[in-house]
Amino acid sequence: MNLVSKDFVALPAIDAVAVAQEGKPSISVIGLGYVGAVSCACLAHLGFHMTGVDVSLEKVRLVKEGRSPIVEERLGELLAEGVRLGRIDATQNLVAAVLSTDVTFLSVGTPTAPDGSCDLTYVRQASRAIGQALAMKDAFHVVVLRCSVPPGTTLDCVAVEVAAASGKTLGVDFGVAFNPEFLREGVAVADFYAPPKTVVGASDARTEQIVASIYGAVDKKIQLCSIPAAEMVKYVDNVWHATKVAFGNEIGRLCKSLDIDSHEVMNIFVTDTKLHLSPYYLKPGFAFGGSCLPKEVRAVAHLAEARNVDLPLIQSLGVTNHRHIAEAARLIESLNVKRVGFLGVTFKPATDDLRESPTLELMAMLEAKGATLRVYDPNLRFNDNLKGQIAYVRHACPSQARVMDNIEAMCVADAAALTEDCDVVVVSHATDEFRAAVAARRPGLPVVDLARLYKQLPDNDASYQGIAW
């Protein structure tokens, strides 16, 4: 029977994937909930031999009978197919399942503990049991954590528990990997065969290759990274989804108070894939500023307050932005130096606009604490436009008035003159000119990078530090 139907074009035809199972690792899946049951069914459809494990006798019985333990479109169909083809078994015996397979997926629950942290009890228990099984096994085994967990869990909890219970060595006798799950409940089967992304962080090259090969049929561009980065990606994803939902709902509440249809607004908003739904504005860097963002955030917060509409997310944007600038000040002050040189002072590169530049706020904070400031910005020209902006900043931000009064005197002719005349160089713009200036600085001159000058961070350079990386 061919399971492909026109509503699920992404589901691979079983005839095409019913290839010889030799060469494919056999896989045990610990935890037959929303994540584990889908992995079992979908990987069996790709020709893998799967053994599902759960402490729940009911879930084990259902999976063994080819029936779905949860409500999930097409899951029952795929489980039935897997059982009929002899590719799916299920058991309560975790040790036996691990012993009879090459790879173990760990997908037990990670609920919230009373103190708000992530409760790793089930992960720890299952890891210990996997270790007890591996104590009896000679061949290399791979343990893949699929739960959503705090960064560090795979190496500091799973690998440690498995090693302690088995007496085996990570990277030699067994490998660990973190492979987050991004499938949406309800369409998890369709998402499995057309994943938004596949991310694998592994302890060693052999483990990485084994885990990546499992997904080869559904994703040709697997993203390989460190284990903690893979763990963090999963948390960032869900926090981002939550941010979008909360943001959309705040906009909805504000629109309602203004008698505007929020869907009419957001239907237009989401069509902008150049700036809104895009990587733009999402990479960590320095605080937002300029003549629009801070002003508009204040205006929207004020609009809401005037109508008694509570928008904590939008109303806190100014606070979080200010904390980011304060963190830059703290980093620079921690160096205990007097002369601070700034490469870039306008609110972003390629503009001469100084209005609400977060760098000016940072300069004012440092000056108030006694620092001597120097500036080089190739776009600053002391013409009438700039004089008008200086007056604007003096008026809008009284704390920056002293910096504005002296900014012309602080400016030096070029980047080399700046790096020669300071004890720390603070980079506000990621431009080629500033990258070259930082590279040519005298040895040991500290750099505080607010703009992320480099894709790949410098190795072994104790004099370099970034604000959010």
Ligand X SMILES: NC(=O)c1ccc[n+]([C@@H]2O[C@H](COP(=O)([O-])OP(=O)(O)OC[C@H]3O[C@@H](n4cnc5c(N)ncnc54)[C@H](O)[C@@H]3O)[C@@H](O)[C@H]2O)c1
176 contacts 227 by C-beta, under 8 angstroms: yes
Closer residue to ligand X, CB minimum distance, 30 or 233: 30
Per residue, the 3-state secondary structure of 435-468, as one string, reads HHHHHCCCCCCCEEECCCCCCCCCCCCCCEEECC
Write down the least CB distance from residue 38 to ligand X, Å: 8
**Marked catalytic residue, from 118, 292, 411, 422:** 292
Give the nearer residue to ligand X in terms of CB position, either 181 or 353.
Answer: 181
- 320 is a site residue for ligand X (CB under 6 A): no
How open is the CA angle 235-241-242, to the nearest 5 degrees? 90
Angstrom distance (rounded) from CA 5 to CA 2: 8
Q: Could you tell me if 189 and 78 are in contact, meaning their C-beta atoms sit under 8 angstroms apart?
A: yes
Letter for the amino acid at 45? H
CB of 29 to ligand X, least distance (A): 9
* Residues 102 and 177 sit within 8 Å (Cβ to Cβ): no
Residue closer to ligand X (CB basis): 110 or 359: 110
Q: What's the min distance (Å) between Cβ of 288 and ligand X? A: 31
- Choice between 32 and 304, CB closer to ligand X: 32
By CB under 6 A, residue 125 contacts ligand X:
yes
In the stretch 99-118, what mask flags binding to ligand X with x, by CB under 6 A? --------xxxx--------
**Could you give phi then psi for residue 53, rounded to 5 degrees?**
-130, 135
> Would you say 347 and 277 are in contact if contact means Cβ atoms under 8 Å apart?
no
Which residue type is seen at 135? A
Rounded least distance, CB 429 to ligand X, Å: 39
Residue 122 in contact with ligand X, rule: CB under 6 A: yes
Query: Which residue from 189, 181, 185 is spatially nearest to 74, judged by alpha carbons?
Result: 189
If binding is defined by CB under 6 A, does position 356 make contact with ligand X? no
Rule CB under 6 A: say whether 200 interacts with ligand X: no
Chain position whose Cβ is nearest to ligand X:
33
Check binding of 39 to ligand X (CB under 6 A): no
Residues 155-194 that bind ligand X (CB under 6 A): 181, 185
Choose between 234 and 429: whose C-beta lies nearer to ligand X.
234
Amino acid, res. 361? E
Interaction mask 280-319, ligand X, x per CB under 6 A: ----------------------------------------
CB of 58 to ligand X, least distance (A): 9
* Residue selected from 35, 133, 304, 314 as contacting ligand X according to rule CB under 6 A: 35
Binds ligand X (CB under 6 A): choice among 11, 29, 34, 254: 34
Q: Is 215 left (phi over 0), alpha (psi -120 to 50) or beta?
A: alpha
In whole angstroms, give the CA distance from residue 68 to residue 75. Answer: 6
Q: With binding defined as CB under 6 A, does residue 66 bind ligand X? A: no
Residue 157's identity, in one-letter code, is C
How many residues sit close enough to ligand X to count as binding (CB under 6 A)? 25
193's tokens: 């065969």
423 CA to centre of own chain = 34
Whose Cβ is closer to ligand X: residue 54's or residue 81's?
54
The Cα–Cα gap between 160 and 83 comes to 34
Smallest gap from residue 59 Cβ to ligand X (A): 5
Q: How far is the CB of 42 from ligand X (least distance, A)?
A: 14
Q: Which DSSP category does 279 fall into?
A: S
The answer to whether 60 and 88 are in contact (CB under 8 A) is no
Q: Which is nearer to ligand X, 148 or 463 (CB)?
A: 148
Say how many C-beta atoms besides its own lie within 10 A of residue 152's C-beta: 12
Catalytic, 40? Answer no
Tokens encoding 186:
């309800």
Compute the least distance from the CB of residue 272 to ligand X, in Å.
29
Q: Which is nearer to ligand X, 20 or 57 (CB)?
A: 57
Q: Binding ligand X by CB under 6 A: which of 98, 126, 190, 328?
A: 126
Q: Does 56 bind ligand X (CB under 6 A)?
A: yes
Estimate to the nearest angstrom the gap between the alpha carbon of 33 and the chain centroid.
Answer: 25
Question: In this complex, which beta carbon is closest to ligand X, that of residue 100 or of residue 148?
Answer: 148
**Which one of residues 25, 33, 228, 349 is an interface residue with ligand X (CB under 6 A)?**
33
By CB under 6 A, is residue 59 in contact with ligand X? yes
Query: DSSP letters of 139-176?
Result: S-EEEEE-S---TTHIIIIIHHHHHHHH---BTTTEEE
Decide if residue 147 touches ligand X (CB under 6 A): yes
Which H/E stretch holds residue 185?
Answer: none
Q: Give yes or no for residue 94 binding ligand X (CB under 6 A).
A: yes
CA 145 from centre of chain? 17
| Residues designated catalytic | 292
Interface with ligand X (CB under 6 A): 30-36, 53-56, 59, 94, 107-110, 122, 125-126, 146-148, 181, 185
